[in-house]
Amino acid sequence: MGTGEPTTPQASTGRVNQKLRTRRAILQAAVELMRSGHEVTMPEVAKAALVSEATAYRHFPDLVSLLQEAMAGQMPSPAEALASVADSRDPVERVAVATEHLLRTVLTYQGATRAMIAGTITRPESADARPAMRFGLIDLALAPLDDTLAATDPAAVRQLKNDLAVVVSAEALFALTDLAHMDPEQAIVSVIRTASTLTRATLDAAAPR
């Protein structure tokens, strides 16, 4: 027979509530570190949440799963991101706005973005944990083509979306800032120009001769 006091419903509820509070504290610490733009690591999150690293790992098996949940709800929807060009039917203009939005979001959450890329690129099976914002932005930016080019040449639009997915990306930005040593603002201008050029080239190729 056990010698401890029997577990009461109140005690059980108290433990559950404590676990929820701890989990929320870890998530909030991750969100705050993300917003700072600094490097995001599990030890730093645990320190900010005033818990041990082991406790953080009990709630989240790895940094990727923590960042996935912390990022949820932090980013605007594609429609919100493209609100300034909601009335525009020009895919080039819309792609430029989508590209700038994505890259500035990457810079704002740079530490978390780098951590998410690092955590998923070495574990391809976890790649679905990445927010993949670019795809929603690209789809909406090219929405004016749904009734035009997509109706007559859907393969061209699919190819354009794939091409843009390479360019409208954190990886493209980091290649320019880290490897080409460009200033972030110059890098953003370069990526926007490339994305716009790709879009314009597709439209020009499809235009009647």
How far apart CA 40 and CA 162 sit, in angstroms, is 30
Q: Which amino acid is at 35?
A: R
Mean pLDDT of 27-41: 88
Distances (CA, A) of 89 to 93, 150, 198: 8, 14, 17
Range 9-71: architecture per CATH: Orthogonal Bundle (1.10)
Mean per-residue pLDDT over the chain, rounded:
90
Taking the CA atoms of the chain, what radius of gyration do you get in angstroms? 22
User: Where are the alpha helices (H) located in the chain, listed in sequence order?
Assistant: 9-36, 42-49, 53-59, 63-71, 78-81, 91-108, 110-121, 133-141, 149-152, 154-167, 170-174, 184-206
Residue 3 has pLDDT above 60, yes or no: no
Angle, helices 154-167 vs 184-206, to 10°: value is 170
Provide the b/e sequence for 175-191 (b: ≥16 CB within 10 Å). ebbeeeebeeeebbebb
User: What's the pLDDT tens digit per position in 71-119?
Assistant: 887 788 999 999 999 999 999 999 999 999 999 999 988 988 998 888 8
The confidence score (pLDDT) of residue 122 equals: 77
User: What's the pLDDT tens digit per position in 117-146?
Assistant: 888 887 777 667 667 889 999 999 999 999
H and E: helices and strands count for the chain = 12, 0
Cβ-based neighbours of 16, under 8 Å, separated by 6 or more: none
Mean pLDDT of 183-196: 98
Residue 1 has pLDDT above 80, yes or no: no
Question: So where are the chain's domains?
Answer: 9-71, 78-206
